[in-house]
Amino acid sequence: MKHLININSLDIDEINQIYNRALEFEKGIRKANHINSHVVNMFFENSTRTKMSFEMAENKIHTNKYDFTADTSSIQKGEDLYDTINNLSAIGMNVVIMRHSDNKLIEKLCAKSYFQEISFINAGSGTDAHPTQALLDFYTIKKHFLNLYGKTLVIVGDVGHSRVAHSNINLLKKFGMKIRCAAPENLIGEKIEGVEYFTSLREAFEQADIVMALRIQRERIQEKIDFEEYIKNYQITKDNLPYAAFLMHPGPVNRDIEISSDVLELQNARTILNQAKNGVYVRMAVLDMILTAQGL
């Protein structure tokens, strides 16, 4: 694996390889030492889980990590990001981990011939893709269910603006999962083939092994959002959550909007912190595979 830009670039074998390697890291039966490698974290959008778990993964596999802060960088003096990356490559960086609001920028930078020696990992691109989140969600689901085939995932909320939903749909469909999305019409976005869409939460929940709640991405929505109406029709509560459903959320959670606070105290919701924990092992696995492929 040279880069990780989106889930489409991974086949089932590669996804299973990442899963197995992450599991070995979690069990402590695999160690990695990439002391001669250099990884730069470039987050142009806010992050807690992705940034911190990449940093934790970097420490655990003994790579040298660098935090690029756009606000104090020469981007503020007008430098093009393309030139910035060239210079980081010249300085000796081996991997760029990038989060950016532009859906296709990371893909475009990655395709530029200058950076042949540097690997890119997409840590979230606009509304388009968040491949390591989908991989950690897959890891979390597979550890629990073992076989995903025929299981139903209901994604609830702002599917249209969610890179997490888009990457998860791409990945989980490969493993034969049934995907349902429940959202008001204005948050459904472009419909994806093979996915069932519902405006009624009750109907969507008639079949649900896993429920994945999403935050409403206010920062990407121009029009006024009627939160009262949303809460009334789509908030996940103790009353509407299907019994025994596995409850997931990529975070950050906006309490009492997409999920009521008391649901977060249920056994079903323990998965949410497991997702964050599993992100470390999955990111260790991805980095380990990319650095090993570079001979580092």
Shortest spacing between CB 51 and ligand CP, in angstroms: 6
The verdict on 49 binding ligand CP (CB under 6 A) reads: yes
The verdict on 124 binding ligand CP (CB under 6 A) reads: yes
Which residue of 17, 47, 86, 292 would you call a contact of ligand CP, by CB under 6 A?
A: 47
Largest Cα–Cα distance in the chain? 57
CA triplet 284, 16, 53: central angle to 5 degrees? 20
The verdict on 176 binding ligand CP (CB under 6 A) reads: no
The verdict on 48 binding ligand CP (CB under 6 A) reads: yes
**By C-beta, is 47 or 292 nearer to ligand CP?**
47
Q: In the stretch 3-32, what mask flags binding to ligand CP with x, by CB under 6 A? A: ------------------------------
If binding means CB under 6 A, how many residues of this protein chain bind ligand CP?
10
Query: What is the C-alpha to C-alpha distance for residues 88 and 207, in angstroms, rounded to an integer?
Result: 49
Amino acid at 200: S
**By C-beta, is 50 or 63 nearer to ligand CP?**
50
Shortest spacing between CB 296 and ligand CP, in angstroms: 25
**By C-beta, is 89 or 274 nearer to ligand CP?**
274
Strand pairing category for 178-182 and 195-198: parallel
**By C-beta, is 165 or 285 nearer to ligand CP?**
165
Piece in contact with ligand CP (CB under 6 A), picked from 65-73, 190-198, 215-223, 250-258? 250-258
Strand partners, 65: 39
Query: What is the C-alpha to C-alpha distance for residues 240 and 26, in angstroms, rounded to an integer?
Result: 34
Amino acid at 170: N
Which residue of 126, 131, 160, 251 would you call a contact of ligand CP, by CB under 6 A?
A: 251
The verdict on 133 binding ligand CP (CB under 6 A) reads: yes
Shortest spacing between CB 127 and ligand CP, in angstroms: 13
Outline where 31-130 has alpha helix (H): 49-60, 81-91, 105-111
Piece in contact with ligand CP (CB under 6 A), picked from 75-83, 107-115, 193-201, 244-252? 244-252
The verdict on 217 binding ligand CP (CB under 6 A) reads: no
The answer to whether 137 and 282 have CB atoms below 8 angstroms apart is: no
Query: What is the C-alpha to C-alpha distance for residues 253 and 168, in angstroms, rounded to an integer?
Result: 18
Tell me the residue number closest to ligand CP, measured at CB: 50
Write out the two tokens for 95.
């991997």
Contacts by 186-194, CB closer than 8 A, 24 or more apart: 186/160, 186/223, 187/157, 187/158, 187/159, 187/160, 187/161, 187/216, 188/159, 188/160, 189/127, 189/159, 189/160, 189/161, 190/160, 192/166
**By C-beta, is 124 or 131 nearer to ligand CP?**
124
The verdict on 50 binding ligand CP (CB under 6 A) reads: yes
Residue ranges in contact with ligand CP by CB under 6 A: 47-51, 124, 133, 250-252
